[in-house]
């Protein structure tokens, strides 16, 4: 379910989707992100080299982490700013249980998601708040390619 926000200053766009914490959430999030980006041409004066598939990959990685490691509901947001940057935010109920995870080995099937996000994003991070049901937010900002 998406709910576009229309009361934004010129050049800023926002949309949100609520997802169930299940295996199909990642595919739903990728489709939502692709459809949103297709409908959001870059702002006037912004380079047209935006790498939409990079944005979709970041959405997928952050939602996958929420499905795999968090509890409670999941919410994903996309914000486009006038400079053409895209902020991806995935909010969840916080970690199910914290366990130290060693770095992924060369043949490991899991453990590379945040490294991928770091490679594609200009900046990224994770914030927590005491509010429920959404307790933790992972985010990344991707800038237009030049």
Q: Which pLDDT belongs to residue 124?
A: 95
Give residue 122's Cα distance to chain centre: 13
Nearest to 96 by CA among 74, 70, 133: 70
Q: Which pLDDT belongs to residue 93?
A: 86
CA distance 76 to 59: 8
Tokens of 142: 């991707």
Q: Which pLDDT belongs to residue 103?
A: 62
Residue 129 has φ and ψ, to the nearest 5°, of -140, 160
| Per-residue pLDDT tens digits of the chain, which is 146 residues long | 444 444 456 678 999 999 999 989 999 999 999 999 989 877 666 655 558 899 999 999 999 999 998 888 899 999 998 888 999 999 998 876 555 555 666 666 666 788 899 999 999 999 887 667 778 899 999 988 64
**Sign of dihedral through CA atoms 103, 108, 110, 114?**
positive
* Whether residue 114 has a cis bond before it, omega within 30° of 0: no
Name the DSSP class of 55.
Answer: H
């Amino acid at each position: 379910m998406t709910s576009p926000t229309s009361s934004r200053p010129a050049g800023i766009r926002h949309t949100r989707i609520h997802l169930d914490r299940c295996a199909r959430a990642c595919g739903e999030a990728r489709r939502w992100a692709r459809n949103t980006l297709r409908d959001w041409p870059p702002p006037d004066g912004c380079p047209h080299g935006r790498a939409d598939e990079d944005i979709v990959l970041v959405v997928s990685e952050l939602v996958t982490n929420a499905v795999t490691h968090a509890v409670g509901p999941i919410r994903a947001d996309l914000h486009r700013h006038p400079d053409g940057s895209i902020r991806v935010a995935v909010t969840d109920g916080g970690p199910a249980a914290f366990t130290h995870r060693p770095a992924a080995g060369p043949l490991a099937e899991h453990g590379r998601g945040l490294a991928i996000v770091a490679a594609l994003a200009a900046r990224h991070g994770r914030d927590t708040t005491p509010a429920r049901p959404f307790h933790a937010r992972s985010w990344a900002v991707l800038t237009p390619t030049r």
